[in-house]
Amino acid sequence: MKKSYKIIHWISTVWLSLRMLSSGIVQLFQMEEEIAFIINLGYPGYFLTILGIWKILGVIAVLAPKFPLIKEWAYAGFFFLMTGAIYSHIAMAEPVSAILPPLLLLTLTIVSWYFRPADRRLVSVFKKAGE
């Protein structure tokens, strides 16, 4: 793997992880602003707990060594979460500025997933098993 790929992977992964972790913690604490925000999007307040827990678990999965299958699920979860967030903002006719943060996180998710090292890919597990 090229050194530049590793650098791109880790910059995008750390940035993605910090943002997901920080928003997950805020959602778990269910601050009034967050509750108002999620209700404005049409979701119940308890949805914050679900989002917060899954974001934190996803960050742990993406950063932890090994477990490529769990990493694939975490990346898929981040992808679905961010596309859902983007669509929720669009459906509620919010301004483009509301779409930019989840769009950035969606981009980071894709970049981190695409540039991940071979030992963090599910395909490498099957190649090793077949050898």
Longest dimension (CA), the chain: 54
pLDDT digits (tens, 9 = 90+) for 29-59: 998 899 999 999 999 999 999 999 999 999 9
Local structure of residue 131 (DSSP, 8 states): -
> What is the model's pLDDT at position 117?
87
| Domain boundaries along the sequence of the chain | 3-124
pLDDT digits (tens, 9 = 90+) for 6-28: 999 999 999 999 999 999 999 99
Does the structure show a pLDDT above 70 at 129?
Answer: no
What count of other Cβ atoms lies within 10 Å of the Cβ of residue 87? 12
Q: Look up residue 15 and give its two tokens.
A: 């940035």
> What is the model's pLDDT at position 66?
87
In the structure, what pLDDT confidence band is assigned to residue 1 with cuts at 50, 70 and 90?
Answer: low
Contacts of 85 (CB under 8 A, 6+ apart): 102
What count of other Cβ atoms lies within 10 Å of the Cβ of residue 96? 9
Select from 83, 81, 99 the least CA-distant residue to 27. Answer: 81
Contacts of 40 (CB under 8 A, 6+ apart): 92
